Amino acid sequence: MADQWRAVPVTSVPLSSGRPMPRVGFGTASFPLGEGDDRPVVREAVLRALDSGYRHFDTAAVYGTERALGDAAAEAVRAGAIASRDDLYVTSKLWITDAHPGRVLPALEKTLRNLQMEYVDLYLIHFPVSMRPPAAQGSPVVVKEDLVAMDMKGVWEEMEECKRRGLAKAIGVSNFSCKKLEHLLSFAKIPPAANQVEVHPYCRQTKLRQFCMERGIQLCAYSPLGGKGAPWGNSSVMDCPVLKQIAVDRGKTVAQVCLRWVYELGDCVITKSFNERRMRENLGIFDWELTGEDHCKISALPESRGTYDFFVHESGPYKTADEFWDGEIVAGQCNQTPVDLSS
């Protein structure tokens, strides 16, 4: 069974810099955030994911899973499951407490120590906001009163230095709107290779996807099933009658419908399940297609966003969710066209 699943062809997409990114990745966020290193389940899940055929792994400093991912990767190399670390595509992210000039490079160096690796394939600014560093370890992940505006130019210059030193093969961002990307592109010497954002049938990111496609930025989707179990998630996607009917019509699961939908739009997608049956099921999206009618039904669903107001506070740089997302949470229409997957 393991050999069968390793043979599943997970296609990759070229980025503006660095190595091609496998279109399906395995997410390692474990909630509550920051406790992943104390959970052997993360390490075991990564090993099962490797056996199932995943080669793209997504982590972040704030997840607390970098060490567990690194341990699993090292074990897989020792066991001969993969030839070397170079067989993997690893993404990690700069947390908001380190999103300050002078803190970016040390943050990545710490990430690499945790991962026991010499480089990450992609390093992302986690959110377009900064927070004053906490006085002590173990402080809350987000203290809204300590949110401050990011020195985006200063932070991005250090992200570029990370790439120049070879510590990150590619650099990018996460949770950036069109407006914030436009600002970043106005001074970036090395443009972001990717933008990782929430994408699911209720959060379609149509405007942002078009913007990124026109500028050579790869969109990468997290929470493609609505993020149930995460602080921002709920069960609306998995309970959606429209998606359930499409799943019945196609002989697939709701999860497979959502993942295939993201895939057909041209995004990379980060799946998240530590259940071995489901993680293998999530790879069963390559040998079938949704119809144009399926896409229109999904595009008619009401628009919403789970990561709505996490970084909104009266004393912070963003007073409203509309300011944080730059007014880009809009109702969807039947205007999403699947990309040509034959190229």
- The vertex-226 CA angle with 223 and 232, nearest 5°, equals 80
Residue 58 near residue 25 (C-beta atoms within 8 A): yes
How far apart, in whole angstroms, are the C-alpha atoms of residue 302 and residue 304?
7
**Does residue 63 have an active-site annotation?**
yes
Token pair of 340 as six digits:
């040509």
Amino acid at 124: L
DSSP structural state of residue 252: S
Residue whose token pair is 């970084």: 311
- Choosing from 63, 89, 123, 202, which is the catalytic residue? 63
b/e map 258-297, b = 16+ CB within 10 Å: bbbbbbbbbbbbbbbbbebeebbbbbbbeeeebeeebbeb
Closest CA to 47 of 73, 84, 79, 9: 73
Q: Hey, which residues does 12 pair with through a beta bridge?
A: 22
Residue 258 near residue 268 (C-beta atoms within 8 A): no
For β-strands 171-174 and 12-13, DSSP reports them as unpaired
In Å, the largest CA–CA distance within the chain is 55
Q: Hey, which residues does 66 pair with through a beta bridge?
A: none
What backbone torsions phi and psi does residue 155 show, to the nearest 5 degrees?
-65, -45
Report how far apart, in Å, the C-alpha atoms of 264 and of each of 78, 208, 210, 213, 342 are: 36, 16, 14, 14, 11
Residue 223 Ramachandran class (φ > 0 left, ψ -120 to 50 alpha, else beta): left
Residue whose token pair is 């810099």: 17
Question: Could you give the 3-state DSSP secondary structure of residue 229?
Answer: coil
Which of the residues are catalytic?
63
